Structure 1
Amino acid sequence: MILLLAKIIVAIMALLHLYFLWLEMFAWTTKAKKVFRQFPEDLFEPTKTLAANQGLYNGFLSAGLIWSLLIEDPTWQVYVALFFLGCVAVAGIYGALTASKKIFTVQALPALLGIALLLAYQML
């Protein structure tokens, strides 16, 4: 049951980071304006390339999380998931400290919960 909950969190985080990829790479000057309302509207176009770069990194996080779900060896599946959830958690904590506290709740907290569940599973 613990492993199933951890995998659900990994899948949700993967989907969330796919959404971030889409938003930052393909919808920065359209949909992102509605999501990032605190960001000055006149800066979306000049920061389009920077946002796309950031979106690409979110895509790598998503790819790693999805990969972890596809690994057949249970030990390596956990190790890879822990690595990528750790990356998400660090990025979320940094984002919360430097950009918006909301990032901690949306990104870091679920990743930390997934890490805790995976570590609890390993201890069984």
Structure 2
Amino acid sequence: MPRKEASDLVLRARIALERLRNGEADRPLINLVSQVTLIVRFVVQAGHGKLDIEVLEAVKRGLEDALAEADNTGIWNVSETLIDGLIDVINEYDRQICVTRMEILVRASDHLDRLAYQAAARDTRAANSHVQLAR
């Protein structure tokens, strides 16, 4: 991947991280770092990463908890522990983007797209079932 494109991808992730560190939090920021976490995890599972799966799992759970809390209370809480984990994830993402074969990154992106499509399909089915129940 050309360094400019790689730098642009990593810069977006680093800006999101800095915004979270500064107390800014919303769904688009959490979604962006969640996507990065999933890509890093896929690349690690493909044997091209240096971060432990346990770190990635802890970050994933922390992001899910932050979203759930915001949905339930309207309060966005991103703990220092989660920020520390995200720093590790974003640093690994930067490294992976620079050194991992494009084929692996494309597969990771495709995997993320499939997950998003499946989630959207589930949401659509759930919304349709709620509409049918309301009738």
Return the TM-score normalized by structure 2. 0.38
Q: Say which one has the larger Rg.
A: 2
